[in-house]
């Protein structure tokens, strides 16, 4: 069990650019979650996958956001045409169905 990993840990981008984050879950976990955490707030749910299927999306996930988990292993979260309001920590978590979620260290996005 090597834990959930995320890459990059930090990303600085200019407004209007596209960014992509990667999450590698714990290998035997079939569920993968994305959350967004702004400074001083608790994480907010964005979306989750069971294997390769995206089963739920929050209304926070605007059409500029897209997430994939093509082979049911790692996942990517892409933000197109970034805005300053997208600046946040993006957290990934994984779990077995119905079990506890294990969180990664997060990717901190700063949009200038």
Partner 1 sequence: AQTVTQSQPEMSVQEAETVTLSCTYDTSESDYYLFWYKQPPSRQMILVIRQEAYKQQNATENRFSVNFQKAAKSFSLKISDSQLGDAAMYFCAYRSALPETSGSRLTFGEGTQLTVNP
Q: Which residues bind partner 1 (CB under 8 A)?
A: 31, 33, 35, 40-45, 48, 50, 55-56, 58, 89, 91, 93, 97-98, 100-106
From the CB of residue 95, how many other CB atoms can be counted at a distance below 10 Å? 18
| Sequence-separated (6 or more) residues with CB below 8 Å from residue 67 | 34, 46, 47, 49, 54, 61, 75, 76, 77, 78
Residue with smaller CB distance to partner 1, 22 or 80: 22
- The nearest distance, CB 3 to partner 1, in angstroms, is 8
**CA 33 – CA 99 distance, rounded (Å):** 13
Residue 48 CB, nearest approach to partner 1 (Å): 5
Taking the complex as a whole, the smallest distance from the CB of residue 59 to partner 1 amounts, in Å, to 11
């Amino acid at each position: 069990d090597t834990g959930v990993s995320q890459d990059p840990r930090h990303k600085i981008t200019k407004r209007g650019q596209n960014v992509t984050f990667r999450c590698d879950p714990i290998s035997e976990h079939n569920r993968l979650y994305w959350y967004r955490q702004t400074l001083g707030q608790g994480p907010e749910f964005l979306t989750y996958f069971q294997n390769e299927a995206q089963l739920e999306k929050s209304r926070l996930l605007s059409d500029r956001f897209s997430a994939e988990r093509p082979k049911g292993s790692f996942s990517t979260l892409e933000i197109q045409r970034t805005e300053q309001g997208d600046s946040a920590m993006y957290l990934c978590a994984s779990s077995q169905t119905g079990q506890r979620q294990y969180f990664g260290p997060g990717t901190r996005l700063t949009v200038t």
